[in-house]
């Protein structure tokens, strides 16, 4: 299809495809419940999990590893163990608790700007028919053009001076440790908050995902090249240690040469993750985003109604303010690391942590009623089992019908083929893909040879579920 066509068919993975809320706490099949119990028992035997009223790891977290490993307990165990080893080696919990707030905010500004508690409005086509639902998954906005060489250099230089009490394994780049502090914010603050909000189709089911809009407009091939190593390491580590935290990525503003960049990127992910990435042409941005996200939660520059620009602080969903009880001195969430903690009365309190001038802070920001369980797995009725079975069978049928399309390649529209040929020839002549990884001397000349970003709208490489 071309960029002027309507969004059509999502390329399904060959195996079973579970979209939220399938495979999540509260929507598990009998077999999935059994696998979760086996997983917990095995982790306990290996002294990686402590059960109890407040277990060491909640069920939604454990389920992320099982979904990532297709419910194979041994495979999930290995990934979980590797992650726990990595977390201990880098003191990730201590990092998040004690990181310098300025360093943390610098990473937030450089890496992304998030409409952190805005939620998407998704259609689960191909799973159980066409069900429009407000799923409550948080939405993040990224603008890559701000990651220019000077900003990245300053970011990496500051990493060596970053204050934290956490130890370091000497292997993970220090700059990426700040990035993973942001992942901690996603899993320990944003997702738990989203889970407690009940103005959604499936309240009571924990949110462990995020939806990302990645704007690559105005980014040159040289800039992509300079970011290649950073993006690769960050992507591989995130996939390994924060599995199943991504629902969808919408890439917008892609220039004509983006097919080359895509050939790098898709090698960093497994096929299931690649299937979650949708590349939208100019004419597809508004119709596709409004199909999946409420227009009031989409920035105006992308065809929505939201006053939001890169550099703005995260915007809280209005419904969240109705649920939150602010502590004295707070009417909004402060800058820096935040996390939710269970209270004795069964509710949750939000704590603001991090360091200012090497002095650690712990401030109570607000409380919220806990409406979404995280453990243990709730009992399911026979009616629940029947609904889940029907949905799973529908998902399997949809997956079988479209599995033959899952070849991992992005279709190329005829009008782009000549531009792509020029791009490939220019890149080959300058040996950009050399193992040395060095930047071409005449990268400026290369950019001049390439078609202009506006020349041809980039087509959907992964079409959207209609």
pLDDT at 65 over 50: yes
Which of 57 and 315 is assigned the larger pLDDT?
A: 57
Q: DSSP secondary-structure letter at 205?
A: S
pLDDT tens for 76-123 read: 999 999 999 999 999 999 999 999 998 888 777 766 444 434 444 432
pLDDT digits over 292-319, tens only? 888 888 889 999 998 887 767 777 777 7
State the average pLDDT over residues 51-61.
94
Tens-place pLDDT, residues 12-39: 322 334 578 899 999 999 999 999 999 9
Would you say residue 328 has pLDDT above 90? yes
The predicted structure's pLDDT at residue 20: 87
Measured distance CA(44)–CA(361) in Å, rounded: 33
Interval 425-460: pLDDT, tens: 443 433 333 334 444 443 344 344 444 433 333 334
List of residues 6+ apart from 215 with CB closer than 8 A: 141, 142, 143, 144, 145, 252, 253, 302
- Parse the chain into domains and list their residue ranges: 89-319+373-405
Does domain 89-319+373-405 fall under CATH 3.40.525.10? My reply is yes
pLDDT (mean) for 244-252: 93
pLDDT at 396 over 60: no
Q: How far is 308 from 215, CA to CA, in rounded Å?
A: 14
Helices marked H in 250-292 — which ranges?
Answer: 258-265, 271-274, 285-292
> Is 224 a residue whose pLDDT tops 90?
no
Q: Tell whether the model's pLDDT for residue 59 goes beyond 90.
A: yes
Q: What is the pLDDT of residue 413?
A: 39
User: Which helix (H) or strand (E) is 447 found in, with range?
Assistant: helix 443-449
Q: Which residue has the tokens 């944003």?
A: 190
Q: Is the peptide bond before 376 cis (omega within 30 degrees of 0)?
A: yes
C-alpha to C-alpha distance for 40 and 52, rounded to whole angstroms:
11
């Amino acid at each position: 299809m071309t960029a002027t066509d309507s969004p059509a068919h999502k390329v399904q993975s060959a195996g079973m495809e579970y979209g939220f809320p399938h495979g999540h706490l509260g929507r598990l099949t009998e077999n999935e419940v059994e696998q979760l119990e086996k997983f917990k028992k095995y982790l306990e035997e290996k002294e990686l999990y402590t059960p109890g009223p407040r277990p060491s790891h909640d069920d939604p977290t454990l389920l992320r590893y099982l979904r990532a490993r297709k419910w194979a307990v041994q495979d999930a165990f290995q990934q979980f163990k590797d992650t726990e080893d990595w977390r201990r080696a880098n003191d990730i919990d201590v990092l998040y608790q004690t990181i310098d707030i300025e360093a943390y905010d610098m990473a937030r500004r450089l890496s992304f700007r998030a409409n952190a508690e805005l939620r998407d409005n998704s259609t689960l086509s191909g799973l159980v028919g066409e069900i429009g639902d407000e799923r409550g998954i948080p939405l993040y906005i990224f603008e890559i053009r701000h990651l220019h060489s000077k900003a990245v250099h300053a970011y990496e230089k500051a990493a060596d001076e970053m204050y934290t009490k956490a130890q370091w394994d000497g292997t993970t780049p220090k700059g990426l440790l700040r990035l993973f502090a942001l992942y901690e914010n996603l899993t320990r603050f944003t997702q738990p908050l989203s889970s407690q909000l009940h103005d959604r189709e499936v309240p009571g089911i924990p949110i462990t995902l995020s939806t990302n809009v990645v704007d690559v407009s105005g980014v040159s091939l040289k800039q992509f090249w300079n970011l290649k190593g950073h993006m690769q390491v960050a992507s591989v580590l995130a996939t390994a240690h924060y599995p199943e935290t991504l629902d969808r990525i919408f890439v917008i503003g892609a220039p004509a040469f983006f097919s080359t960049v895509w050939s790098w990127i898709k090698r960093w992910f497994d096929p299931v993750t690649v299937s979650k990435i949708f590349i939208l042409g100019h004419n597809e941005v508004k119709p596709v985003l409004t199909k999946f996200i409420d227009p009031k939660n989409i920035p105006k520059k992308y065809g929505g109604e939201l006053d939001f620009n890169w550099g703005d602080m995260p915007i809280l969903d209005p419904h969240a303010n109705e649920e939150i009880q602010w502590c004295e001195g707070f009417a909004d969430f402060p800058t820096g690391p935040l996390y939710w903690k269970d209270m004795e009365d069964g509710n949750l309190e939000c704590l603001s942590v991090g360091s200012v001038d090497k002095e650690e802070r712990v401030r109570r920001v607000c409380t919220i009623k806990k409406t979404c369980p995280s453990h243990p797995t709730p009992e399911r009725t026979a009616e629940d089992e029947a609904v889940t079975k029907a949905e799973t069978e529908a998902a399997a049928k949809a997956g079988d019908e479209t599995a033959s399309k899952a070849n991992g390649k992005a279709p190329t529209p005829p009008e782009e083929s000549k531009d792509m040929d020029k791009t490939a020839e220019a890149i080959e002549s300058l040996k950009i893909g050399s193992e040395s990884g060095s930047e071409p001397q005449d990268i400026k000349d290369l950019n001049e040879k390439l078609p202009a970003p506006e020349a041809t709208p980039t087509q959907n490489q992964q079409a959207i579920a209609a």
